[in-house]
């Protein structure tokens, strides 16, 4: 029975009512979700939301307490050995021996998974090229930069051609450039057929990378869907305007029924609307035109993942105010 | 058949060879013990023993010869008790997550660490024997080459089982601990009684009764019995004490060590199966 997939063909991870307690503290509170074969699935949530705990149960480092979970068709409780053979993992913290070389780290990993000698050596060469560490082969990992360490860990996670690659906060602490390159690697890996399960607290990471996103907070999944679906559920758009007379314009627009809120900015103002912005914007423009107020700049955008997150959890994930980043992204030409 | 333990062994030996200071200090330390403690004590003890009658058939050996066997055991004990430390470091800062989430059976970590620690102990034991003989320990006196080979092999087999026992103990403790300081504390606590309640540096016969019982079954004493039997012989006098080892005594000592190592292996497996590293 163990060899038979427990789930439907296209689901590679299924989780039902998963609960995990540390003493009295409920870290994971009855979550259920499915990850389809071949997709990139993200758990998006603040630190301490229960993402890592959930991932640790799925990769069999923590024993399942309540609920059901299967990975690659194998039950994590009944068949942990098979689960371990089917997955690759990149841990949240750097998990490298500082005093082993890049090549030794990969060799060690391949042996841990009983890869045949020839396969192992060949795969190491391929992966070193993929993550651009060919010329670091004999360098001890303590001499690598943060980004290189991460790349090495991703390469290590891919040594065994896993069915599912788990990435726990893969770009934490990396500079923006390195992060973008990392995303490219992850996408490449995904294109080759590996399902990716990712946790992150970076909005843009979830947004850019994932086919499916589940927002998780306080151990619960709050909402799931594609990035587009999530943003669309807000049913709101944000319009940025700069006009010849901002104060008068604000007075006029405030009375329109579909306008929810107006925020003044240095050179213009932000309007958030309750209805489809593509329909509201012409109304606003006509209204201003009739009042003989000329429009210098206009920008319409869908709410970002940040907006979605704030909407559903009632709190901001980052320290910096959302308004600031929204404003920056709304600057003319800034999107 | 999974050969995961070979991998663990390979990695631990890489580290052993790579850390030159660790390598040299671990090799130098027993030699220093022998040189300073051995030479100093033997000159005072041997002068006390002059005139003590020697039973017929037995031969008298100097203190240096007597304690060199103890130093082999002591070095093995220290090396092996700390041999599991790498597991604690891996648990806190390194590879243990990767290892525990891999399909490799967990007991292979224990076996791999055991075998690499055993290899280190072999190297140390041989160095002490060579150095001891150089500075005057009466090991293998009057032995033929074949006898020496057998004797060395016998010593190494004893050292192997003893080393594995303490490495398993060390691994089991390491995987259960949170900090290196805590581990250090426990190890220091263990070292003292194991070392001093043994016949490493002095004979047991003057001990109070209860201590004598403990010391007789101390794995350290069992190992030293084996080393003295193979290195010195089955009938000798040292420190005014007449030592006679029968084949049975030696088999019992060896059996005791095997039982000890097996119990420690079970202990380590139990600790590893309980271990949660996230």
Share of chain A above pLDDT 70, in %: 90
- pLDDT score for A4: 46
Q: How confident is the model at residue A160 (pLDDT cuts 50, 70, 90)?
A: confident
> Does residue B44 belong to the interface with chain A, where contact is any CB pair within 8 Å?
no
Chain B: closest CA distance from residue A64 (Å): 12
Is A260 strand, coil or helix? strand
Distance between CA atoms of B50 and B73, rounded to whole angstroms? 27
Higher pLDDT, B210 or A325: B210
Using one digit for the tens of pLDDT, what is the confidence trace for A70-109? 999 999 999 999 999 999 999 888 889 999 999 999 999 9
> Does residue B92 belong to the interface with chain A, where contact is any CB pair within 8 Å?
no
Return the residue in B1, B2, B6, B11 with the most chain A beta carbons within 10 A, the one to mutate for interface testing: B11
> Does residue A111 belong to the interface with chain B, where contact is any CB pair within 8 Å?
yes
DSSP A293: P
pLDDT over 60 (residue A265): yes
Distance between CA atoms of A53 and A50, rounded to whole angstroms? 5
Instruction: Determine whether the interchain pair B95/A104 forms a contact, defined as Cβ–Cβ distance below 8 Å.
Output: no
**Alpha-helical runs (H) found in chain A:** 51-58, 80-86, 102-112, 117-130, 146-158, 176-191, 203-209, 227-233, 246-254, 277-290, 305-313, 322-330
- pLDDT score for A326: 41
Q: How confident is the model at residue A235 (pLDDT cuts 50, 70, 90)?
A: low
Residues of chain B found within 8 Å of residue A22, distances taken between Cβ atoms: none
- pLDDT score for A306: 80
**A4's tokens:** 């038979």
Q: Would the ipTM clear 0.85, i.e. be above it?
A: yes
The chain A residue lying nearest B100, using CA atoms, is A61
Which positions 82-101 of A are in contact with B (Cβ < 8 Å)? 84-85, 87, 89, 91, 95-100
Cβ neighbors of B93 (< 8 A, separation 6 or more) are: none
The chain A residue lying nearest B97, using CA atoms, is A95
**Alpha-helical runs (H) found in chain B:** 4-18, 20-33, 39-49, 63-81, 85-93, 96-100, 107-134, 145-176, 180-196, 209-217, 219-231, 247-274
> Does residue B14 belong to the interface with chain A, where contact is any CB pair within 8 Å?
yes
**A289's tokens:** 């035109």
pLDDT over 60 (residue A61): yes
Instruction: Over range A25-39, report the average pLDDT.
Output: 92
Which domains does chain A carry? 11-231 (3.40.50.300), 234-330 (3.30.70.980)
Return the residue in A76, A109, A114 with the most chain B beta carbons within 10 A, the one to mutate for interface testing: A114
Instruction: Over range B136-155, report the average pLDDT.
Output: 92
Give me the DSSP letters along B124-179.
Answer: HHHHHHHHHHHTT--TTTT--HHHHHHHHHHHHHHHHHHHHHHHHHHHHHHHH-S-
Instruction: Determine whether the interchain pair B278/A108 forms a contact, defined as Cβ–Cβ distance below 8 Å.
Output: no
- pLDDT score for A325: 40
């Amino acid at each position: 029975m163990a060899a038979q997939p427990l789930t439907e063909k296209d689901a590679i991870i299924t989780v039902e009512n998963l609960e995990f307690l540390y003493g009295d503290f409920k870290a994971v509170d009855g979550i259920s979700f499915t990850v389809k074969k071949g997709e990139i699935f993200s758990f998006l949530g603040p630190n301490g939301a229960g993402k890592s705990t959930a991932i640790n149960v799925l990769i069999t480092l923590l024993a399942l307490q309540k609920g059901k979970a299967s990975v690659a068709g194998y039950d994590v409780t009944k068949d942990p050995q098979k689960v371990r053979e089917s997955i690759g993992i990149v841990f949240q913290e750097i998990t490298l021996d500082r005093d082993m070389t890049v090549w030794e780290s990969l060799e060690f990993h391949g042996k841990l998974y009983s890869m045949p000698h020839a396969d192992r050596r060949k795969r190491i060469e391929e992966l070193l090229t993929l993550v651009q560490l060919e010329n670091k082969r004999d360098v001890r990992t303590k001499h690598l930069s943060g980004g290189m360490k991460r790349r090495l860990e991703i390469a290590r996670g891919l040594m065994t051609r896993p069915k599912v690659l788990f990435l726990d906060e893969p770009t934490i602490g990396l500079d923006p450039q390195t992060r973008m390159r990392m995303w490219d690697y992850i996408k490449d890996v995904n294109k080759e057929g590996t399902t990716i399960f990712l946790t992150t607290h970076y909005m843009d990471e979830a947004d850019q990378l994932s086919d499916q996103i589940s927002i998780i907070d306080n151990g619960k999944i709050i909402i799931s869907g594609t990035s587009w679906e999530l943003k669309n559920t807000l049913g709101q758009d944000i319009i940025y305007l700069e006009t010849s007379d901002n104060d008068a314009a604000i007075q006029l627009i405030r009375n329109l029924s579909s306008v929810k809120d107006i925020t003044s900015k240095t050179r213009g103002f932000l309007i958030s609307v309750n209805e489809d912005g593509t329909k509201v914007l012409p109304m606003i423009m006509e209204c201003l035109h009739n009042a003989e107020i000329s429009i210098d700049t206009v920008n319409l955008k869908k709410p970002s993942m940040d907006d979605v997150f704030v909407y559903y959890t009632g709190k901001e994930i980052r320290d910096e105010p959302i308004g600031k980043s929204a404003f920056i992204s709304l600057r003319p030409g800034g999107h | 058949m999974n050969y995961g333990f070979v991998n663990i062994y390979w990695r631990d030996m890489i580290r052993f060879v790579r850390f030159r200071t660790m390598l040299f200090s671990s090799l130098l330390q027993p030699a220093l013990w022998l040189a300073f403690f051995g030479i100093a004590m033997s000159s005072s003890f041997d002068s006390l023993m002059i005139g003590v009658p020697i039973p017929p058939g037995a031969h008298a050996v100097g203190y240096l010869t007597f304690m060199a066997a103890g130093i082999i055991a002591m070095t093995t004990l220290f090396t092996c008790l700390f041999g599991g430390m790498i597991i604690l470091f891996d648990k806190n800062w390194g590879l243990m997550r990767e290892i525990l989430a891999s399909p490799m059976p967990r007991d292979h970590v224990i076996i791999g660490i055991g075998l690499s620690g055993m290899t280190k102990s072999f190297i140390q034991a041989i160095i002490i024997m060579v150095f001891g003989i150089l500075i005057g320990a009466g090991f293998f006196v009057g032995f033929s080459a074949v006898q020496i080979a057998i004797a060395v092999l016998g010593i190494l087999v004893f050292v192997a089982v003893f080393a594995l026992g303490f490495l398993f103990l060390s691994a089991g403790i390491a995987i259960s601990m949170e900090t290196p300081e805590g581990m250090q504390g426990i190890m220091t606590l263990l070292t003292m009684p194991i070392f001093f309640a043994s016949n490493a540096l002095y004979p047991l016969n003057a001990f109070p009764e209860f201590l004598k019982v403990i010391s007789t079954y101390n794995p350290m004493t069992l190992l030293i019995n084996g080393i003295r039997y193979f290195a010195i012989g089955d009938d000798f006098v040292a420190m005014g004490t007449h030592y006679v080892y029968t084949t049975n005594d030696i088999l019992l000592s060896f059996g005791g060590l095997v039982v000890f190592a097996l119990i420690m292996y079970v202990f380590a497996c139990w600790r590893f199966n309980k271990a949660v590293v996230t």
